[in-house]
Amino acid sequence: MRKKRRAPLWARLCTSAGAVLLIAGGGGLIGGKVLLDKTTENIAVENLTGEAGKTEAEGGGDILEGPIDMLLMGVDARARWAADDLRADSIIILHIPASHDQAYLISVPRDTEVDVPAFEPSNYGGGTTKATEAFFHGAQNGGGWGGGAQLLAKTLKNLTGISFDGAAIINFGGFKSVIDELGGVTMCVDQQVTSKHMVFVEGKPMFLADARKTGKPTKPVVHKVGCRAMEGWEALDFARQRYGLKNGDYDRQRHQQQLIKAMAKKAATGGVLTNPIKAGGVIQSAGKALVLDIGDAKITDFVLGLKDVAANDMVLLRTNNGTFAGNGSGRERIDETTQAMFEAVKEDRLAEFVLDNPGVVANEK
């Protein structure tokens, strides 16, 4: 029997989409509770974990008891793309130990070679492909985003052994509004990179494809080394770059994790938690960016029960020692240390594993 304790942890911990901001702390608790009761009203809710959902036999039960494992999937959904023509460009496993005093983010390389099981809702017969494409195969033939998420979750469970308490699909396009509602975030650029997605047209940032349609001169968007406050478009664009970076997608994974943590920090320090108007704006923006799997759990009880997990308690972890681990076919394999890390997640002994293997901790600058 599948447990019914899935609820969005995004509220503060890492929901790259900013519901993150709603775990009230201190004086914001009363107003935060009222707002949290309304959070799901404008956020799409679906079963995103399917057969990969954690069962009672695997530790299911009260959401506020035991470890919590969530799957975060980032997609780049633009209006011109069909609902089933999407891949999971960002795949992150969020682990919160039973002590509920810390949160760990682990990015799964998008090009990891995986065995994708057959999936009847999308008429997919199964096959070997990249992790990013598992979502695509589940979304085909009417499977939709929910089907894509369920097939990716099942694929990852087979690969890592981890079952999930819940999940979220985060639309990159929605990130911009959430970050802007926060008043921007501080990001540290560790290596200069020129955007492959955006350019300036008459001083304004614009997607490259849209800029070409204007016929006007363009200027490259260059992310220069240094720490600075970024608007939504800039922070999101930087976190999406992988070409031109020393470690390619691994550097992008790290930058995405940094963005999640930066959002959580801004929520905690930017007055969002104590200002119902600000919090309400973030909720509205998050509703346009998220699809959540929350089961039958009440979000308010869950979020307030985890209010002691702060942004500074988020630990960013890397797979494959932060470098491409090719298998000879242009795809990646999961090395032994990473597989052991996944096993530690499943057994809720990740803190001990990190102490014994400090090299898995990602540098934040």
Residue 342, domain CATH: 3.30.420.590
Select the more confidently predicted residue: 295 or 106.
106
Q: In which band, very low, low, confident or very high, does the pLDDT at 194 lie, cut at 50, 70 and 90?
A: very high
Domain assignment present for residue 222? The answer is no
pLDDT of the residue at 170: 82
Q: Phi first, then psi: what are they for 165, rounded to 5°?
A: -80, -20
- Helix axis angle, 232-240 to 172-182, nearest 10°: 140
Cβ atoms < 10 Å from Cβ of 248: 16
Rounded CA separation 53/59 (Å): 11
Rounded CA separation 272/12 (Å): 11
Measure CA of the first residue to CA of the last residue in the chain; give whole Å.
43
Cβ atoms < 10 Å from Cβ of 259: 22
Residue 99 carries which side chain, given as an amino acid letter?
Answer: S
| Residue 252 near residue 242 (C-beta atoms within 8 A) | yes
Domain assignment present for residue 243? The answer is no
Domain assignment present for residue 203? The answer is no
- Report whether pLDDT(181) > 70: yes
Domain assignment present for residue 54? The answer is yes
What average pLDDT does the segment 97-105 reach? 86
Size (the chain), residues = 365
Rounded CA separation 9/276 (Å): 20
Using DSSP, state whether 187 is helix, strand or coil.
Answer: strand
What average pLDDT does the segment 60-83 reach? 73
Domain assignment present for residue 213? The answer is no
Instruction: Look up the domain containing 334 and give its range.
Output: 9-181+274-360
| Residue 17 near residue 176 (C-beta atoms within 8 A) | no
pTM passes above 0.85: no
Q: In which band, very low, low, confident or very high, does the pLDDT at 82 lie, cut at 50, 70 and 90?
A: low
| Residue 159 near residue 260 (C-beta atoms within 8 A) | no
Residue labelled with tokens 């985003």: 145
Using DSSP, state whether 247 is helix, strand or coil.
Answer: coil
Domain assignment present for residue 349? The answer is yes
> Rg of the Cα trace of the chain?
19
- Report whether pLDDT(230) > 80: yes
| ∠ CA 129-321-48, rounded to 5° | 45
Domain assignment present for residue 247? The answer is no
Give the strands of the sheet with 219-223, arranged side by side: 204-207, 193-201, 219-223
Residue 213 CB partners (closer than 8 Å, separation 6+): none
What average pLDDT does the segment 93-118 reach? 90
Rounded CA separation 255/235 (Å): 9
Residue 162's alpha-carbon distances to 153, 181, 279, 296, in angstroms, are 9, 34, 33, 21
- Report whether pLDDT(352) > 50: yes
Question: What are the structure tokens assigned to 344, written together?
Answer: 């530690």
Q: Which of 29-43, 78-92, 215-229 has the lowest mean pLDDT?
A: 29-43
Report the sign of the C-alpha dihedral through residues 323, 327, 330, 332, in that order: negative
Q: In which band, very low, low, confident or very high, does the pLDDT at 247 lie, cut at 50, 70 and 90?
A: confident
pLDDT of the residue at 228: 95
Rounded CA separation 337/323 (Å): 13
Burial of 29 (0-12, 13-18, 19+ CB in 10 A): middle
Looking at the structure of the chain, the number of domains it has is: 1
Residue 52's alpha-carbon distances to 7, 167, 324, 325, in angstroms, are 15, 10, 27, 26
| Residue 14 near residue 20 (C-beta atoms within 8 A) | yes
pLDDT of the residue at 3: 41
User: CA-CA-CA-CA torsion for 301, 302, 304, 309, nearest 10 degrees?
Assistant: 170
- Report whether pLDDT(162) > 90: yes
Question: Which residues does residue 108 pair with via DSSP β-bridges, in sequence order?
Answer: none
Domain assignment present for residue 237? The answer is no
Residue 128 CB partners (closer than 8 Å, separation 6+): 113, 114, 115, 116
